[in-house]
Amino acid sequence: MFGLMGKLLRVNLTEGSIVQEKIPEERAKKFLGGRGLGTKYLFDELKRGIDPLGPENKLIFMTGLLTGTPSPSASRYSVVTKSPLTNIWAQSSSGGRWGVDLKHSGFDGIIFEGISERPVYLTIDDEKAELHDAIDLWGKNVSETTQLLKERLGDTFNVASIGTAGENLVKYAAIMNDLHRAAGRCGVGAVMGSKRLKAIAVRGTKKIKIAHEKAFQEVANKQFELLGESMLGAGLQAYGTTLVLDMVNVCGGLPTRNWQTGVCSFAEEINGEALSEKVLVSPVGCFACPIKCGRNSEIRKGPYAGQTGEGPEYETVGTLGAMCNISDLEAITMAHYLCNDYGLDTISCGSTIAFTMECFEKGILTKENPEGLKIAFGDPEVMIALVHKIAKREGIGDLLAEGTRHMAQRLGHGSERFAMNVKGLELPAYDSRGAKITGLAFATANRGGDHITAYIQAPTYLAAPFLVIEESEIQDPLQENPEEAKVVKDLEDALTVFDAAGCCKFMGMALDAQEWSDIITTLTGWEFGVEEFRKTGERIYNLERAFNVREGLTRADDTLPKRLLEEPLPEGPAEGHVNNLEILLNPYYEFRRWDKTTGKPTPEKLRELGLEQVISQIYGGEA
């Protein structure tokens, strides 16, 4: 098989057994790799209603079709599982180099089953896989775990691991690789912790077979040229992802004080220029990355002076900064370092702390705060204290470790109105009242409140249209235009292919559908035209939706927090605006050919996509 290594590892942690399995080529043709192939295995092998932290859940690591090839930014792997935070389908992806090393070790992916009796870690060295006792690593954070394993195994091994947040089953714990890269969302680190799997260390020298090497290299070279010429690439290299903060703020869409406003008065203190002046050491990139949007950084002043690491990224600055009303960039950077070392998703962590600050402000938190902490907006010390408490599930941190949906259910007093999540997954730092179409993307994303399922912010906030779909321009961000619901649908499908291919979404902005088809065709030797590109993304997206429907999800779950639907923004360019989601939702279902009453993919659509076996599982005897 070209492009893929053609096999995966199946590790039963209960039994301590490891077996190798071939990946059928027909399955790979339909689902590619990464998110797509991982979802296919998850859907087929999980029963409805299983406990995400129980032995029946599976934790699937899957590299992308292009991962490890000379295609630009082809570095990513996906983790697919059932989320303990949302109780539905979960996927999180990460870059760096770990996914490349996994693929070069001879495997496209790993499926972990069961629960180990004792903490263990897995090593893979050029197809040789072994489980080892990890009792001495349990209780250690990411940096120490990585250092100890490299000392033990050799510096050529690359490590993915959880920190103490994953061990303590924090519902939004991350899996970290290359020290600073995160498969951050949906609590995949908690699933890894529940299985008592501490780390996976990989080393590999295997080569990926390419069907048409000369043609593939020509297409890859063209992609590098396009990225080198793009303004977005230049901006990301100069300022990293914090480049977008000023653009979002000037549109009135930067969530501040837990989304009470979309205008951040201190944006210039935490934006890309501020980061470059205060903490930047050098840009850093993933494998084969021509952009290098990552930030090697060092805190140079204040109580955390001398601390080093990577970041912060835009979402960290947005959630632990603006949402918490904190302008101290050094403190935000320190919180980012802590989240990386503990293994925490900075989006859910920052959003949960911001929610907690508003609950305290409104007098809702009383009994749940036994330490008597004064949790106030704008206090960097209490923000950092809460990061520690969350990771350790210490005191009030035990409640915060459950995420905003669970907190609101427990606290009551109307707090669900401003618990800023969709389907249980905390929203990123883009206020959809300032760009209405983003509300539809948040509401319909299969994993919940998410900004990169469609990344509709690019053509709205950033004026950076995707070439991969025919029409990605949004005419007026402050108007709900039913016809533009198709842009969300088309971007969801296209960006799903990016995840299945293992490629960075910033790279995808510079390529059109034909260029994507060419790179896959020359790699694999399959006939993979533009039509198949679009159909593959739609097939995977519908299978993910079917997983959620099987878990009980309905149209009622495709919604937004009441704050976005009912509370107008108080200032800025979007002053007075709320989301009117219903204007966009019915057209979206029509474009998708999903039932407008139930939200289910129709049997006709599933048959068209070659997903006939799914019909009985979500319709039973109805179809």
CATH of the domain at 154: 3.60.9.10
Query: In the β-sheet with 128-133, what is the strand arrangement from edge to edge?
Result: 128-133, 120-125, 197-203, 158-161, 175-177, 181-183
pLDDT at 622: 63
* Distance, CA of 191 to CA of 59 (rounded, Å): 7
Beta-carbon contacts of 476 under 8 Å, excluding residues fewer than 6 positions away, are none
pTM higher than 0.95, yes or no?
Answer: yes
Same domain, 395 and 461: no
Percent of the chain with pLDDT over 90: 88
DSSP designation for 173: B
For residue 610, count CB atoms less than 10 angstroms from its CB and return exposed for 0-12, middle for 13-18, buried for 19 or more. Answer: exposed
pLDDT at 341: 98
pLDDT at 289 over 80: yes
The token pair at 235 is: 């901006």
* Distance, CA of 275 to CA of 217 (rounded, Å): 36
pLDDT at 524 over 90: yes
pLDDT at 232 over 80: no
Strand partners, 22: 7
The token pair at 409 is: 């259910």
ω before 312 within 30° of 0 (cis)? yes
- The angle at the Cα of 512, spanning 510 to 516, to the nearest 5 degrees, equals 100
Same domain, 550 and 457: yes
Whether residue 168 contacts residue 183, with contact meaning beta carbons closer than 8 Å, is answered with: no
Same domain, 362 and 458: no
Same domain, 119 and 37: yes
In a domain, 303, yes or no: yes
* Overall average pLDDT of the 48-73 stretch: 96
pLDDT tier for residue 117 given thresholds of 50, 70 and 90: very high
Same domain, 581 and 554: yes
Max CA separation in the chain (angstroms) = 67
* Overall average pLDDT of the 210-239 stretch: 84
What average pLDDT does the structure give for the chain?
Answer: 95
pLDDT at 350 over 80: yes
* Host domain of residue 289: 231-426
* Overall average pLDDT of the 440-466 stretch: 90
pLDDT tier for residue 397 given thresholds of 50, 70 and 90: very high
pLDDT at 623: 54
pLDDT at 510 over 80: no
Sign for the pseudo-dihedral over CA of 68, 74, 76, 78: negative
Whether residue 314 contacts residue 366, with contact meaning beta carbons closer than 8 Å, is answered with: no
Same domain, 568 and 459: yes
CA 1 to chain centre: 29
pLDDT at 575 over 80: yes
One-letter amino acid for residue 164 of the chain: T
In a domain, 250, yes or no: yes
pLDDT at 159 over 60: yes
Coil, strand or helix at 501: helix
pLDDT tier for residue 609 given thresholds of 50, 70 and 90: very high
pLDDT tier for residue 303 given thresholds of 50, 70 and 90: very high
Coil, strand or helix at 567: coil
pLDDT at 558 over 90: yes
Same domain, 330 and 417: yes
pLDDT tier for residue 484 given thresholds of 50, 70 and 90: very high
pLDDT at 231: 67
Same domain, 419 and 302: yes
The CATH number linked to 422 is: 1.10.569.10
In a domain, 215, yes or no: no
Same domain, 557 and 610: yes
Whether residue 63 contacts residue 33, with contact meaning beta carbons closer than 8 Å, is answered with: yes
Same domain, 59 and 31: yes
pLDDT at 621: 63
- Helix or strand holding residue 347 (H, E): helix 346-361
Total structural domains in the chain?
3
The CATH number linked to 487 is: 1.10.599.10
In a domain, 270, yes or no: yes
* Distance, CA of 135 to CA of 1 (rounded, Å): 39
Last residue of a domain, one of 408, 426, 444: 426
pLDDT at 233: 73
In a domain, 216, yes or no: no
pLDDT at 240 over 70: yes
Same domain, 89 and 19: yes
* Distance, CA of 185 to CA of 90 (rounded, Å): 8
Whether residue 518 contacts residue 211, with contact meaning beta carbons closer than 8 Å, is answered with: no
Last residue of a domain, one of 426, 450, 477: 426
* Overall average pLDDT of the 53-74 stretch: 96
pLDDT tier for residue 291 given thresholds of 50, 70 and 90: confident
Same domain, 421 and 487: no
Whats the size of the chain, residue-wise? Answer: 623
